[in-house]
Amino acid sequence: QLQASGGGLVQAGGSLGLSCAASGFSLRAYHMGWFRQAPGQEREFVGAISRSFATYYTNSAKGRFTISRDNAKNTVYPQCDGLKPEDTAVYYCAASQNVNWRMAVNYNSWGQGTLVTVSS
């Protein structure tokens, strides 16, 4: 089971440190992706971190979001800086063991999300 946390209300330009903790299995064997879904919109791939700690970010997150992981704590940490109102969404983490970990379609183990609200 995956559980995202750390969301909240922040002003534009601010930062939030999210986290995604796993229970019942070890994250060590998985690539971990982050997604978000704004009201009325489809789920969007934000970025990912591989088992070997390589990272990938989509254009919407590049330069502002940073994903790290601590396998000993079984947790992944997206740091969101320079937040914009359009970043407002429920943020989810997901796991994959597919070699093509940079592709959103290969994530199929979803956790509960955390709401990030950015005010202008």
pLDDT for 110: 77
Which residues are CB-contacts of 55 (< 8 A; sequence separation ≥ 6)?
47, 48, 49, 66, 67
β pairing state of 109-110 and 8-11: unpaired
- CB 77 within 8 Å of CB 16: no
* Amino acid present at 55: T
Query: Per-residue pLDDT for the chain (120 aa), expressed as one digit of tens each?
Result: 999 999 999 999 999 999 999 999 999 999 999 999 999 999 999 999 999 999 999 999 999 999 999 999 999 999 999 999 999 999 999 999 999 999 989 998 778 899 999 999
Give the pLDDT confidence score for residue 109 in this predicted structure: 78
Candidates 86, 115, 111; CA nearest to 96 is 111
The alpha carbon dihedral of 44, 65, 19, 38 has a sign of negative
